[in-house]
Amino acid sequence: MHFEVISLFPEMFNAITQSGITARALSRALYRVEVTNPRTYTQDNHKTVDDRPYGGGPGMVMLIEPLAKAIVAAKARLVANGVVPHVVHMSPRGLPLTHQKVMALRDMQGLVILASRYEGVDQRLLDTLVDEEISIGDYVLSGGELPAMVLMDAVIRQLPGALGDAESANEDSFVNGLLDYPHYTRPEDYEGLVVPEVLMSGNHAKIREWRLKQSLALTRAKRPDLLAARSLTKEEARLLKEIDAESH
């Protein structure tokens, strides 16, 4: 996987390259990343990357020229490495980042991620050089760096070999369209709070069913929209009936 990131604050991406799972994945050469500051492609002494918006209004808009040059150069590097580039702009007006979108992006192998700042980006850049806009939620941040890192982290952990246990990614929330089940570890009894007995039984079939039932109950309580969009299996329908009966 090859990431090309365009940001005014390249140093922020040390959080990805120097910490945790994503740092280990980089050391294993599971992905490559290059962060470009668009000021590199400016022509004036002040390295200007923004200007006042036409039509008036508050704030500044990022200039098209330095961003366009940075994107074109990033795409060229990907092509030179035999990778088809896909350009993403992190924006609150983009489509939501979901597990399905993460898996689709992982399979693309070459992402150019624009982490913009200020009030926005000249629309002509978005119309001509950006393939899609992606949002991590219905709120506004100071810039696109944190959303870009969220996207990168989500994609990198899905790369084969990124996690110590290959099954870990398959057990995450949203992978099967449900929220994750509760987890427990030592001690067995903490101040009178005990681990559910089924998890101590060694009966893997019972444990699997318990976990599925817990996932269904949590999803119904916290994210009913996920269940509404789901085609239930016979087992899931049965377990939901049990949950309903137990709640009355």
Q: Which helix (H) or strand (E) element contains residue 108?
A: helix 99-108
34, 65, 119, 236: the catalytic one is: 119
Which residues share a beta bridge with 2?
32, 110
Taking alpha carbons only, the member of 9, 27, 35, 72 closest to residue 152 is 35
Q: Are 54 and 64 in contact (CB under 8 A)?
A: no
10, 24, 77, 92: the catalytic one is: 92
- Measured CA to CA, the distance from residue 247 to residue 238 in angstroms comes to 14
Active site (annotated) includes residue 124 = no
Q: What is the per-residue burial (b if ≥16 Cβ within 10 Å, else e) of 141-151?
A: eebbbebbbbb
What type of residue is 173? S
106, 117, 157, 220: the catalytic one is: 157
Q: Which two tokens stand for residue 20?
A: 């945790």
Active site (annotated) includes residue 165 = no
Q: Which helix (H) or strand (E) element contains residue 101?
A: helix 99-108
133, 172, 180, 236: the catalytic one is: 172
Active site (annotated) includes residue 119 = yes
Q: Are 50 and 118 in contact (CB under 8 A)?
A: yes
In this structure, which long-range contacts are made by residues 69-72, counting pairs with CB atoms below 8 Å and at least 24 apart in sequence? 69/38, 69/41, 70/6, 70/36, 70/38, 70/40, 70/41, 71/6, 71/112, 71/114, 71/125, 71/129, 71/130, 72/129
Q: Which residues belong to the active site?
A: 92, 119, 157, 172
